[in-house]
Amino acid sequence: MIALGSQVLNYQIHQRLGDGGMGVVYLATHRKIGRKAAIKVLHPQFAQNPQIRQRFRNEAALLAQLDHPCVVKLYDYIEDEHGLCLIMEYIEGIDLDHYLKQVSGPIPEGRLVPLFNKILSAFDYAHQYGIVHRDIKPSNILITPNMGVKVLDFGIATIVNNAETALAAAGTRMGTVLYMSPEQVRGDFFDARSDIYSLGVTLFQMLTARHPYEDLHTEHQVFQKILQEPLPRAANFYPGVSAPMQQIIDIATAKNPDKRFPNCKAFAQAMRASQEQRFRIPSAAQTRPQPLPAWVGQAALAGLGVLLAAALWIGWGQEAWQNHYANTTARPNPTDQPVSSPDVSEPPHILAVKRRLEAFYAARETGDFEQVADFYAFPMERFMIYQNVRREEVRKVNDYYWSTRIKAEENIIDWDSFIYQQDEKGNHLVRVEVLYRCLLRAGNRWEEKREVRDLRLNPELRIYYIRSDELRTTADD
């Protein structure tokens, strides 16, 4: 432990930033050049271990050579009367664990993919140097104010690679074992694919804001789950997780390392591909008709008149549709329309919108304010999510609503009524009918409603407008 105001090399100690499983971290400033640094002083059980000290000497020089924008840089190291000290780059930010709990909740996939790919780039860089982190977890990943990423403690877990010593401090093992790969738990040889497993668990937590083993209370229970069972389905923890993202988690956390992504590049490619499949909206170039073959040139010329007429009709039809979208009040009899399911053969961007709406209404059924609020975009996001008085007002309305209903709503989307349009900014305009049923406490009766919902979603599929027109209400005694 270092006293505040004391000096380590040319660094003046100002503040104790926190304690970790391996040591205490202090904020310091270089006395000559004014550069801030974070100084980690390893716990005595590490610093006094001859094996750890030797490994530290051998590997600290290599770690100091790591130079990547998403990796916290090691400036220097020292062995003195204070013990074993690591002088590292100081980063303003919040660790991912606190970010998920206090700021974001589940991160929508549109924002998660670029963020997670920054994390993957850091590990891909280190793996190229033969460095395996061994202790990946959200508390070792910093999120900066501009949504950058910095990975902490690269190589420190490698230096402190004596299992009995590294896990001796009370409370340190449980925080790490949650992210351990099966081969780590067994004590087998492991390589960079072990980091891939831990990253898969981290991805699960970023998508759900929950840990897959959060309900377990002992290390033995966690060990058994890691060794014998696949991770729970992420959508069971948060309904907004897509099927492509679940598949990525499954591959990354496979029990057999040979069945995981071979490296972080492959992991990142799968992340990007999942979003191209889920969120890609065809551009004008992609949807433009292909040039006619030369042998039908004359037919093409003859058809220009037809194409021109069609273009004029489309322009009129689009305007008419917009007027219909805004003004139509007549509705078909809901009892004449069977409830349908999304057509999986539809264009990816339309199918993505439908899946997003399915997840939104599934979240509504939970009655969980936080899960529903996560679907909204600005300005609804500001109203629903920001920490202010209006947030509490909305929460009270939400709590009152669910206090009057014994059963959560059964939202059934009638996809046969689905109308879709995309504006010039890439926003999605949707009209769809929704049937929902709930059991009212007053009178203990079922109430059934069918409503037309007009929704607008931004290009990231976050909702910024909802309007509902009630068609019919029935109550069964």
Which residues are catalytically annotated?
135
The answer to whether 448 and 474 are in contact (CB under 8 A) is yes
Structure tokens that stand for 454 in this block: 């007009």
The answer to whether 261 and 267 are in contact (CB under 8 A) is yes
d(CA 117, CA 127): 15
Give the list of residues 6+ apart from residue 288 with CB closer than 8 angstroms, or none. none
Q: Which of 34, 37, 2, 36 is nearest to 19 (CA)?
A: 2
- Could you list the beta-strand ranges (E) of 320-444: 412-422, 428-440
325 φψ region: left (φ > 0), alpha (ψ -120 to 50), beta (else): alpha
Structure tokens that stand for 468 in this block: 């509902």
Cβ neighbours of 376 (radius 10 Å): 20
Give the list of residues 6+ apart from residue 399 with CB closer than 8 angstroms, or none. 369
d(CA 347, CA 1): 61
Taking CB atoms within 8 Å and a gap of at least 24, the contacts of 101-105 are 101/209, 104/209, 105/209, 105/370, 105/371, 105/373, 105/374
Structure tokens that stand for 15 in this block: 């503040």
d(CA 13, CA 258): 46
SS3 assignment, position 2? coil
